[in-house]
């Protein structure tokens, strides 16, 4: 009888410890994947983004600080990507079409940033932009001009990019929203463009 009670007590202790480890490792059960944990951490403590020089599909030079005072949707792509980047492009197109047209450019803009700074020349960025209807004003497609500045930018957004061994890259994908203060305010899955757009509309 004592042995049975001891076994039950040990089992209960193991369960409690397991729940504690799971609670700590998943941010209180809110993060069951590394990607969810990344988003939770970024939104709890929004980071100031590094100053990086960007070049868009028309060869124009700008930086993220140019968008201060406006809401800015940001996604990370590369033009040779035929899988997740196509989904990202379509998601941005849906967001653009869902947000009030009078707000585009003035109160809200979209920015696709390439993770392949060397291969994605302005010409390739232009072809990608044309494919999805990015006009270069309300929606820009750009690359980081100085390759050394790319990693700090990716780190600030929690984006991990790994060569796939076939000349391309594997990378986590999401739709990010920068608030008017230039800090991360919202992160959504790429298959949730309409809820993302509706959230933007609440803040316009």
pTM: 0.81
> How confident is the model over 56-105, as pLDDT tens digits?
999 999 999 999 999 999 999 999 997 888 999 999 999 999 999 999 99
> How confident is the model over 40-66, as pLDDT tens digits?
887 787 777 899 999 999 999 999 999
Smallest CA-to-CA distance from 159 within 53, 82, 57, 88 is with 88
Q: Say whether 157 counts as a known binding-site residue.
A: no
Query: Is there a single domain that holds both residue 60 and residue 153?
Result: yes
Q: Say whether 81 counts as a known binding-site residue.
A: yes
Query: Is there a single domain that holds both residue 54 and residue 21?
Result: no
Long-range contacts of 47-51 (CB under 8 A, 24+ apart): 47/156, 47/183, 47/184, 48/182, 48/183, 49/153, 49/156, 49/157, 49/178, 49/182, 49/183, 50/149, 50/152, 50/153, 50/156
* CB burial of residue 48 (10 Å; 0-12, 13-18, 19+): exposed
How many structural domains is the chain composed of?
2
Mean pLDDT computed over 180-203: 94
Q: How far is CA 196 from CA 70, 83, 200, in A?
A: 16, 21, 6
Query: Is there a single domain that holds both residue 9 and residue 103?
Result: no
Coarse DSSP helix, strand, coil percentages of the chain, rounded to the nearest 5 percent: 45, 20, 35
Query: Is there a single domain that holds both residue 14 and residue 69?
Result: no
Q: What is the CATH number for 139?
A: 3.40.30.10
- Domain residue limits at 37: 2-43
* pLDDT at res. 172: 87
Query: Is there a single domain that holds both residue 16 and residue 107?
Result: no
Query: Is there a single domain that holds both residue 114 and residue 18?
Result: no
Query: Is there a single domain that holds both residue 60 and residue 35?
Result: no
């Amino acid at each position: 009888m004592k042995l049975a009670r001891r076994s039950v007590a040990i089992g209960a202790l193991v369960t409690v410890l397991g729940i504690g480890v799971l609670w700590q490792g998943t941010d209180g059960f809110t993060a069951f994947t590394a990607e969810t944990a990344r988003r939770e951490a970024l939104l709890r403590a929004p980071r100031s983004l590094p100053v990086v020089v960007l070049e868009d599909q028309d060869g124009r030079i700008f930086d993220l600080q140019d968008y201060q005072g406006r809401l800015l949707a940001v996604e990370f792509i590369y033009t040779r990507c035929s899988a997740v980047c196509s989904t990202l492009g379509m998601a941005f197109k849906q967001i653009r079409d869902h947000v009030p047209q009078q707000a585009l450019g003035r109160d809200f803009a979209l920015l696709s940033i390439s993770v392949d700074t060397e291969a994605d020349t302005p010409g390739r960025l232009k072809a990608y932009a044309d494919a999805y209807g990015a006009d270069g004003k309300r929606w820009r497609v750009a690359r980081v001009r100085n390759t050394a500045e790319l990693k700090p930018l990716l780190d600030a957004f929690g984006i991990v990019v790994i060569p796939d061994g076939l000349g391309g890259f594997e990378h986590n994908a999401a739709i990010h929203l920068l608030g008017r203060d230039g800090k991360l305010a919202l992160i959504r899955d790429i298959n949730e463009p309409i809820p993302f757009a509706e959230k933007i509309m609440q803040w316009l």
